[in-house]
A and B are shown apart, each in its own frame.
Chain A
Amino acid sequence: EAGVTQSPTHLIKTRGQQATLRCSPISGHTSVYWYQQALGLGLQFLLWYDEGEERNRGNFPPRFSGRQFPNYSSELNVNALELEDSALYLCASSWGGTLAKNIQYFGAGTRLSVL
């Protein structure tokens, strides 16, 4: 069974540009989560999508946005890139529904570098 896949592996952008990161969840999982792992800041929750809707959002500015498609894959968009957006962006997926079923499985991440 395929795990969570993320693309691209690496992404280099310049300040002010937009970045699009993609995530395909494990087959059967309906929830997708995005996390940012920046140097010195640890892992921070960004967004949670379930059944196509945004369910929760972390403490990030509106230029971080995303969506979930009917096939449950997801896209994270970062507009007006700033140098401090450079980080590893991790996507996770899980079964939706109850807390009892929620184990998040992670992809290998997209390393975004903003120059």
Chain B
Amino acid sequence: QSALTQPASVSGSPGQSITISCTGTSSDVGNNRVSWYQQYPGRVPKVMIYDDSKRPSGVSDRFSASKSGNTASLTISGLRADDEAGYYCCSYAGSSTYVFGNGTKVTVL
């Protein structure tokens, strides 16, 4: 059960949009639901997206997500300084197991 593949880093200027990819297999991402988590250094992860594309109450609509085949994507629109954090995808992988992505550090230039 390998970690889902994410780019190590993505950067953008304030106001721009960035997209983070999360690639797995048909055993996880391709046939199961994906969630996304934001984590600031030294802080607890926070869910930003669940069920592939749903936003929990209180999460900004600047965060959106989609999935196609074995790849899920998280888009942050109108990039802000406080979006600078680590982002992790997570997929159910069957038989009561889950797998996280290896994480993406977002830098706001």
Tell whether A and B belong to one assembly. Answer: no
**Interface of B with A (CB < 8 Å)?**
none
Q: Report which A residues bind B (CB closer than 8 A).
A: none
